[in-house]
Chains A and B, each alone.
Chain A
């Protein structure tokens, strides 16, 4: 399910609109991940505060969305563009790739709550495909 030119254009247009809220989207998505899928918290056992106002959660949400921004800029070759991040996730973080799908869903939910008019079904399918391809690129170096 690779990205068509239309998918890429749609994702870039949406990103242009929402990127000013990227930090807030990231923090909210991460907190939702922990709340809706508590098993995801195992990767953050070193944090003392996983609440909605936690500075760790906010900072990390910002970092994650930085990764999404990078992916948007490398949308024509996600595998190569995300190679370093993939190595980090594969060899250091060792996050089970199943979690990428869970976070992607939470990102979609946050965008739906913040930009309901912009996440039409036509845009939703493009963004869903983008996030799936992002996750795939992130899993590239795992084995």
Chain B
């Protein structure tokens, strides 16, 4: 089981408490599709992804970005059992969506950069460490049911 210090819990809940999901969600997903273009393979039905401008203004991507970001809420509410919490989502990503689990790390890196840009100097090294630990645990849980 993952051990969280009080400081880590405070940092992580603090980030989410002031998070604008409607802004950060779309920004993170669109950034991922632009920086790692092969991730676009999962979004063939989402419309125009032809260039960065199209991706950034695509309403389907924006909506999906919000959905994905809210997916992290489960981990936030169940920090002491993230592994079990994501079991069904892991099955979904493996069996139905067929997402390469390496891609989870790419998205989490983009989310980190977007949050860093938003928080500026408040995104200290310790904050980054706690947040990346959180995302790494979620990424691991999401990859667990692949076989």
Binding site for B on A (CB under 8 A): 28, 31-32, 34-36, 52, 105, 108-109, 112-114, 116, 119, 121-122, 124-125, 128
Closest residue of B by beta carbon distance from A35: B125
- Given A31-B125, A35-B128, A109-B112, the answer on whether A121 and B31 have CB atoms closer than 8 Å is yes
B87 to chain A, nearest CB (A): 27
Residues 31-72 of B contacting A (Cβ, < 8 Å): 31, 34-35, 52, 55-56
| Contact of A125 with B128 in the complex, beta carbons under 8 Å | no
How many A-B Cβ pairs are below 8 Å?
55
How many angstroms between the C-alpha atoms of A31 and B55 in the bound complex? 34
Can you offer 27 A-B residue contacts whose CB atoms are under 8 A? A28-B125, A34-B125, A35-B126, A35-B128, A36-B129, A105-B109, A108-B113, A109-B112, A109-B113, A109-B116, A109-B128, A112-B113, A113-B117, A113-B120, A114-B120, A116-B116, A116-B117, A116-B118, A116-B120, A121-B55, A121-B56, A122-B52, A124-B31, A124-B113, A125-B34, A125-B35, A128-B35
CA distance A124 to B116 in the complex (A): 13
Closest to A31 in B: B125
Q: Please tell me if B140 contacts chain A, counting CB pairs below 8 Å.
A: no
Chain B: interface residue count, which band? 20 to 34
Of residues 99 to 147 in B, which have CB atoms within 8 Å of A's CB atoms? 109, 112-114, 116-121, 123, 125-126, 128-129, 132
Find chain A residues with CB under 8 A from B90 CB: none
| B119 proximity list for chain A (CB < 8 A) | 113
Closest to B126 in A: A35
A28 to B124, CA, bound (A): 9
Give every chain B residue within 8 A of A32 (Cβ-Cβ). 125, 128-129
- On whether the beta carbons of A112 and B52 are closer than 8 Å, the reply is no
Q: Is the CB of A119 within 8 A of B125?
A: no
